[in-house]
Amino acid sequence: MPQGSLNASNVDILNAVRRSASLEYKDRVPVATQANLARVVRTIRDYPVIWNEYMEALVNQIGIRIFNNYQFQNVLRPFKQGMNWGSIAMEVGSNLITADNFDQMDANPWTAQTPDMRANYYARNRADVYGMYINEELLAEASENEGQLSGYVNELFRLPNESATWDEYLLMKQVLSEYETSSGFYNIQVADITASNDKETDGKDLVEKTRAMYLKLNGFYSRKYNAEGMDSMLSDAVMLVDANVAAAIPVNVLASAFNMGETDFFGRQVVIDEWPEGLEGTQALLMDGDFFRVFDICNKSASIYNPKTDGLYSYLHCRGVYAASKQRNAVRFSTDADTEATTAVSKVASSVSVALDPAVANNAVLEPGATIQLVPTVKYSAPASTPDDANAYFVITAGTAEQAANGTLPVILPDTGTYVDRFNVLHVSEKSTYETMVITAVSTVTPTVSGNITLREVGYSAG
């Protein structure tokens, strides 16, 4: 029998109602037994006030307990976040802090950066009500016939509850479709397993790609795989697949890809019937366990007697927030093109130049303790339309003007106190006596391509 269903005799149910009933009810209605069952029911039916109390007790006490406990097995329900005491749910996240270069001469404590924190708000988007009219004649008949009352009550509350839970499942699937439409999942292209003529090969490719992405995201920060572009790592990973893919790929194969036993993996693989509209071609979703931002705001039922129609009406109210996190990682594996299309053409640098920021006449910036911002610019000849960037590293040489003229400038060693940091800032040693310094920027992509800038001591003028 389903969880939360009523399994009791008519006598037990009638006496359970009587125990919590009013004094008037107890005075008029005797304790039920198998011998007096029909007479007890007729007594209840003959007094309208008592009958109304009996119906309301069945609905509001016994029935509602069944109603709240009996659940259609919504496979996405475990990803709900619980109750939210308001119509708006908030999600707050922050990016990692970018390190500053240590400068012992900088004594200003007020230069710390403001953390990059972001908040996303998800508003209530479900407010459903499920109404049900209770047929008194059927209820009276079921009450008089042993064994029928529990069946009637179970069926009475099964339909609205299953309707609400099924709608919840459909809404949570629709959340995925809306995320794809508004933000777009990071996508990795794979074959359609269902239509494949070589399910073994294509299935193996899907497993390898999901495993590779799982290893890349599990415990490592990235901004590429969520809509907000936040520093986020995969936690409590979940693999969402449809029934066709789940049937085509043995669970032990998927489990081994995630370094889990079959029993453990069953808890992380969630099988749905089919993908919603807008996600056609999807083979799998690898997502964070907190990707769904689904909250119940209200989940209650109540009944009311309508004297005009002489009937009892019961209503279930379901209100909630149904959304997907913009800050949690999720990767889609589908027949669509890759989000990041791979290219077979390697980048080839054509030139490198170095400038100062800000620019200084004759590049006369050298003095003990100076900090100088260098700006490398690398241009490319291939692939076509490759934008310029600063992908270069520096080699520093320094010495006298005469050495520079003779081309015999010595390379500066790291322990001299003069160096270029990772922010491309040149730090000149406090003990320096350099008249000239030549800095060479070498393309990281094409090391044979480089460019120079010659720096002079402060006060130098061409002449």
With the C-alpha atoms ordered 212, 218, 220, 226, is the resulting torsion angle positive or negative?
A: positive
CATH code assigned to 348-457: 2.60.40
CA 65 to CA 6: how far, in whole Å? 9
Cα distance between residue 38 and residue 44, in whole Å: 10
Q: Is residue 206 within 8 Å of 196, Cβ to Cβ? A: no
CA distance readout (Å), 165 to 3, 172, 272, 371 = 14, 11, 15, 65
Pick the CATH number of 1-341 from 1.10.287, 1.10.3470, 3.90.1690, 2.40.50: 3.90.1690
Distance, in Å, from the CA atom of 257 to the CA atom of 241, rounded to the nearest integer, reads 15
pTM of the full predicted structure? 0.65
- Side by side, which strands form the sheet with 282-287? 186-189, 330-334, 282-287, 238-242, 269-272
Q: Could you read off the pLDDT tens digit of each residue along the chain, which spans 463 residues?
A: 344 556 678 888 888 888 878 898 888 999 988 888 888 888 888 888 888 888 777 766 665 555 454 455 788 888 888 777 777 888 888 888 888 878 777 788 888 888 888 888 888 888 999 988 877 777 777 777 776 777 777 777 777 888 888 999 999 999 999 999 988 999 999 999 988 888 888 888 998 899 899 989 988 999 999 999 999 998 888 999 999 998 888 666 666 656 655 545 544 789 999 999 999 999 999 999 999 999 988 888 777 778 787 777 888 889 999 999 999 999 999 999 999 875 456 789 999 999 999 999 999 999 999 999 999 999 999 888 889 999 999 988 776 666 656 767 677 766 678 888 888 999 999 988 888 899 989 898 898 888 899 999 999 988 6
Q: What angle do CA 111, 457, 355 make, to 5 degrees?
A: 60
Instruction: Report the distance separating Cα 162 and Cα 228, nearest Å.
Output: 35
Q: What is the pLDDT of residues 412-442, one digit of tens each?
A: 766 678 888 888 999 999 988 888 899 989 8
Q: What is the dihedral of CA 285, 286, 287, 288, to 10 degrees?
A: 160
Domain regions of the chain by residue span: 1-341, 348-457
